[in-house]
Structure 1
Amino acid sequence: MLRTPSPSSLYGLVDMGSNGIRFSITDLSPATARSLPTVYQDREGISLFDAQYSTGVKGPIPQETIDEILASLNKFKTACADFSVPTTNIRVLATEATRTAENSVDYRRQIKEATGWDVDLLPKEAEGRIGAMGVASSFAGVEGLVMDLGGGSTQITWVIAKDGHVQTSSKGSISFPYGAAAMTRRLAELDSSSPEPKSRHKLHPHVKSAREELQEEMKAQFQQAYDDLDLPDSLQEKAKHGGLNLYLSGGGFRGWGYLLMSHHRVCPYPIPIINGFCVTKRDFQQTAEISTLAAEESVFRISKRRAAQVPAVAFLVNVLVEALPMIQQVRFCQGGVREGFLFDTLEAPTKALDPLKAATAQYGTPSAAEISALLWDGLPGENHLDRSLPGTLTPSFVRAVADMMYLHLPLPKETRSLAALHAPVTGVLASAHGVSHTDRALLALTLSSRWDGDIPPPHDNFKARLCSVITHQEAFWTNYLGALAYLVGTVYPAGNVDAKHPRLKFSARWADGLGKKGLSQGVVLRLRCRQDDPMTCPMALNSLVHELEKVGKKKNRVGGEHGYGVPIQVEIDRDLL
């Protein structure tokens, strides 16, 4: 049952960044706060950085820009009143563009007079720490380097977020004047003041261009920052063996992420959410291809202004990868000042929750824990055959399945599977913060398989693309877990389990001697049920058991005949009293 948030748990937040202003109302009720569920959001594409350079040189924020911002703030004030957000729960946060503005004091005074709100002007050190918290909020766990690319500057630090505790460098973030807008302006100035490349090379073949000098300057500063951040031993060990994760936030990097998404091997990419999108270092550095794409095509979530900054971001990306070769995987984050500020208010036990589990908790039946335990018992563990489930199928993930598996019950039968497929991607979980793309794909495919129904075209293509985001092994187990959930959902149609008198129990193990010729290793599922219950009589169970065993047929392997799949054998014991 969907829960209505209490007004006292709602928080209104304004994030006045360099490249835009974000408005949001978030529900921080303890049960769901970890996923930072947003009940209202808006954005104004007002660049405080560009506004200060509207005459070509830096000046004060123009009054017409201030007036536009005041109108937006009063609009948000009305929205907060409509949602009954307590005035004590509304904050206005400002970062570098406001902090360094010539008329910062007057600008903030006008906001106070127009709205009654004080502006919290974040010091550079606090901005870096809150930015790191924003990255920590974006994943179930974080361990690696973090960079935030704003309009005027970029910051770098390291973060380790685990079990509800967030560690970062004691020196905070190291900031550089290499923001997306600032770099666009600087490169344009260099190009306009430099001689033509051909004549320069003809006269001075060994003289470095202004761009090359800037590249060396930036590379040296990134390398020095890496040394100055004093990485803990665990990260230094990862850097030497296997490489580090790089977590990216800020509008400039998110724009780069959307361009990479549009150029992905799975095309069109099925999950239009930047948070949790991951690429390898090699894919991250496709600067020539991505620059061409931004110049020639209209790309989802890439405005003309953002497209104009792409060459500058490409320049930064090339320098970054050259300066920090230990980077192996790049992960994009939605988390910024807004998310970091809210995440920082949470208690450590709340921060430690799995964001997927927190996001789905409100949809579970009162017996969701019992159903989750039942589903988990239906999955085999490790054994002497060295077989095991993929590491992504965790108890928390299975609990999320249990929470969501009755949500679409009221829908017409022919729409349930399709609605369930979209729920984690563009449906009720789309705004859940911190959920990885892998978890979204796994949950979508599992919930779709939970219902008896095919996916109609053209949505079958969407399902195939979701399968391509994960491994063949993971896709197979979503089919199995979905079929298992279908059986459980049929035996318990309302999702209510009487723990003293259960209708059903599972145990599963890996076994030899399965398959048509008895030569394969697979899973034996032992199903114990009540002899006198109409829900578990042979006529009720036989078709459900058939669907489970069909998952393991050779023709249903994921990836074709030579793809992944294991035989499934169900044994039924009618010995429950």
Structure 2
Amino acid sequence: MREYAPGRLQDVRPVAVVDIGSNSVRLVVYESLSRAPTTLFNEKILAGLGRGVGASGRLADESVAMAKAALVRFRKLCDQIGVFDIRVLATAAVRDAENGADFIQEVEAILGEPVHVLSGKDEARYSAHGVMSGFWRPDGLVGDLGGGSLELVDVKGKEIGQGRTFPLGGIRLEEDSGGDVAVAAKIASQALAKADWLEQGQGRDFYAVGGTWRSLARLHMTQTGYSLNVIDHYAIPATEALEFCRVIAHSELDTLDSIDVISKQRRPLLPYGAVVLEQVLRKVRPTRIVLSALGVREGLLYEMLSSEDRDKDPLKVACRELALLRSRSPAHCEELIVWTDRVFEALGIEETEEEHRLRKAACLLTDIGWRAHPDYRGTQSMSVISNAAFIGIDHPGRAYLALAVFYRYAGLVEEALSPRIRELASSRLMERARILGCVLRVAYLVSAAMPGIILRTSLFQRGDDLVLSLPQDLADLDGSRLRKRFFRLAKIVGLSNALTEVAQK
């Protein structure tokens, strides 16, 4: 029987994916099968199964032994965690090796589960679905760089377009080029030359998937002093990424600034990942590169969902889960969505579709800091939100959520506000975060975070006055503290006065 754990969702069962790649063998256990999957446990070993396959045609004995030892441990971990569904995937190295079938038999004996050896087409589809899972309405080309192959596929919303697999994985390219980066660049250029359909990505986003490309992005992020330590949705203008790739491909890695952020095991493949990305950028000519933390594994989970669950907004799903785990009343957070809809309409505050979506998410998160000391609720919530494992949201959106909840707790006090978070948000998002924070500060003094109260009130504009109307049985909630916050809200929306009144029956 599972121990009751208030910090975990109840009545859900963990699922696991064992991913046997050309470079790494990884176990990821997810808390549940969800539109916004949360990682419960994650471990990998760089077994290098793909190393030498191009030359010998076989998986090396040492790599096989390392992988099998890891899989024995992974099976035991799944039993301890109580995983009810284990999916096992194998990619290019196992697919291409002449002793791959023997290895698969041994893996199935260890794990007690069938191994799904992915074709290149399968890998491209799962990668595309991984990006669809992690991005809200993506539009561009997905590139998934592994150790043995590169998958490129077109995505737009929920539609998967043309795709293809190329023999340009980091390990394979290193071996095929004889360790010569210049030769590797020529191989990559020639492999992509005839794929004219890639030009459909011009002027759109390029979604980069895979450990080597994530390492490149981590290095770029560190060198540029970026404000947020979150890889998912990290975006680099294509022209800047192209120059960065040239530097990485033709430099002594150990002399590069901030190279210590990349593990020594990962570093040898960085130049080859940079070479491939450079050639892809030349061919595709996207506007920017956007990093995805989700790939094949999450694409598999996405395919396991019902069509109804696939249609859900992953950001709202994640925020509702956090509200359930951390707020005093999840129902009250839901009520705030409806109430702020009315308030923003009454105040004539225009929102784009994305801003409207973000405001709903902020309402769900607005009470997650209540257990902290009052002096630190704002800064603690800002830190949690800006670094949370959310998907379906870009970095300016994260900043908006973090700022809105910070202002809800701290008021419009800028001293404790992180300048690194503030610089991610546009002036427009900053303004809307400030307004929402002030609106929520009023709401919480009326409701005390309890459901069934706030929707019985109304807020509207009468001439130059901002009016908060309370029903007669809630008239005693009026007071100096509420009026002070309400007056501050009036000022920030450009009104001269704030009034509270009791509604007539």
- Shorter-chain TM range is 0.7 to 0.9
**Alignment match, 2:78:** 80
Task: Decide which of 149, 157, 166 is 1:176's aligned counterpart.
Answer: 166
Tell me by how many angstroms 1:94 deviates: 0.5
**Alignment match, 1:574:** 501
The change in CA–CA distance for 1:567 and 1:286 in structure 2 (over 3 A counts) is farther
Tell me by how many angstroms 1:455 deviates: 8.3
**Alignment match, 1:44:** 45
**Alignment match, 1:389:** 351
Worse-matched range after superposition: 527-536 or 177-186: 527-536
Q: Considering only aligned residues, what root-mean-square deviation do their CA atoms show, in Å?
A: 3.1
The change in CA–CA distance for 1:473 and 1:338 in structure 2 (over 3 A counts) is same
Distance 2:252 2:467 in 1: 54
Compare CA radii of gyration and give the structure with the larger one: 1
The change in CA–CA distance for 1:439 and 1:135 in structure 2 (over 3 A counts) is same
Distance 1:434 1:97 in 2: 31
**Alignment match, 2:35:** 34
Q: TM-score w.r.t. structure 2 length? A: 0.87
**Alignment match, 2:29:** 25
Name the SS for the 1:366 alignment partner: helix
**Alignment match, 2:397:** 439
Q: How does 1:176-195 map to 2 (within 5 A)?
A: 176-190=166-180
- Alignment of 1:94 with 2:90, yes or no, is yes
The change in CA–CA distance for 1:66 and 1:316 in structure 2 (over 3 A counts) is closer
- Alignment of 1:222 with 2:184, yes or no, is no
Task: Decide which of 191, 213, 219 is 1:253's aligned counterpart.
Answer: 213
Distance 1:97 1:111 in 2: 14
Name the SS for the 1:440 alignment partner: helix
Name the SS for the 2:194 alignment partner: helix
Tell me by how many angstroms 1:139 deviates: 0.5
- Alignment of 1:6 with 2:11, yes or no, is yes
Tell me by how many angstroms 1:420 deviates: 0.6
Tell me by how many angstroms 1:453 deviates: 6.6
**Alignment match, 2:19:** 15
Task: Decide which of 426, 443, 448 is 1:488's aligned counterpart.
Answer: 443
Instruction: Answer whether contact 1:112 1:118 (CA < 8 A) is retained.
Output: yes
Distance 1:270 1:452 in 2: 21
Tell me by how many angstroms 1:93 deviates: 0.7
Distance 2:389 2:154 in 1: 26
Tell me by how many angstroms 1:107 deviates: 1.2
Q: Which one-letter code corresponds to 1:279 in the other structure? A: I
Instruction: Answer whether contact 1:378 1:525 (CA < 8 A) is retained.
Output: no
**Alignment match, 1:542:** 483
Q: How does 1:292-331 map to 2 (within 5 A)?
A: 294-295=253-254, 296-299=256-259, 301-325=261-285, 327-331=286-290
Instruction: Answer whether contact 2:228 2:420 (CA < 8 A) is retained.
Output: no
Tell me by how many angstroms 1:573 deviates: 4.5
Task: Decide which of 429, 451, 460 is 1:474's aligned counterpart.
Answer: 429
Distance 1:270 1:253 in 2: 20
The change in CA–CA distance for 1:545 and 1:113 in structure 2 (over 3 A counts) is same
Instruction: Answer whether contact 1:220 1:323 (CA < 8 A) is retained.
Output: no
Task: Decide which of 219, 222, 228 is 1:271's aligned counterpart.
Answer: 228
Instruction: Answer whether contact 2:75 2:110 (CA < 8 A) is retained.
Output: no
Structure 2 residue ranges without an equivalent (≥5): 1-5, 325-329
Instruction: Answer whether contact 1:367 1:497 (CA < 8 A) is retained.
Output: yes
Distance 1:547 1:533 in 2: 22
**Alignment match, 1:205:** none
Instruction: Answer whether contact 2:219 2:258 (CA < 8 A) is retained.
Output: no
Structure 1 residue ranges without an equivalent (≥5): 192-209, 515-523, 553-565
Q: Which one-letter code corresponds to 1:389 in the other structure? A: E
Name the SS for the 2:501 alignment partner: strand
**Alignment match, 2:409:** 451
Tell me by how many angstroms 1:419 deviates: 1.4
**Alignment match, 1:399:** 360
**Alignment match, 2:313:** 354
Q: Which has the higher helix share?
A: 2
Distance 1:324 1:294 in 2: 27
The change in CA–CA distance for 1:398 and 1:454 in structure 2 (over 3 A counts) is closer
Worse-matched range after superposition: 311-320 or 140-149: 311-320
Q: Output one character per residue of 1:366-409: Cα deviation in whole Å (capped at 9) or x when no partner.
A: 233221111222225897xxx73355321x32222222212221
**Alignment match, 2:3:** none
Distance 2:363 2:114 in 1: 44
Name the SS for the 2:486 alignment partner: helix
Tell me by how many angstroms 1:3 deviates: 5.3
Distance 1:414 1:546 in 2: 22
Worse-matched range after superposition: 397-406 or 415-424: 397-406
Name the SS for the 1:567 alignment partner: coil
**Alignment match, 1:207:** none
Displacement over 6 Å in runs of 4+: 453-457
Aligned length, in residue pairs: 490
**Alignment match, 2:327:** none
Tell me by how many angstroms 1:568 deviates: 5.0
Q: Which one-letter code corresponds to 2:393 in the other structure? A: V
Instruction: Answer whether contact 1:219 1:322 (CA < 8 A) is retained.
Output: no
Q: Which one-letter code corresponds to 1:421 in the other structure? A: M
Q: TM-score w.r.t. structure 1 length? A: 0.77
The change in CA–CA distance for 1:447 and 1:344 in structure 2 (over 3 A counts) is same
Tell me by how many angstroms 1:574 deviates: 1.0
Instruction: Answer whether contact 1:258 1:300 (CA < 8 A) is retained.
Output: no
Tell me by how many angstroms 1:99 deviates: 1.0
Tell me by how many angstroms 1:456 deviates: 10
Q: Which one-letter code corresponds to 2:503 in the other structure? A: L
The change in CA–CA distance for 1:177 and 1:525 in structure 2 (over 3 A counts) is farther
Distance 2:263 2:228 in 1: 19
The change in CA–CA distance for 1:126 and 1:381 in structure 2 (over 3 A counts) is farther
Q: Which one-letter code corresponds to 2:216 in the other structure? A: W
Distance 2:99 2:307 in 1: 39
Name the SS for the 2:270 alignment partner: helix
Instruction: Answer whether contact 2:132 2:138 (CA < 8 A) is retained.
Output: yes
Tell me by how many angstroms 1:83 deviates: 2.4
Q: Which one-letter code corresponds to 1:548 in the other structure? A: L
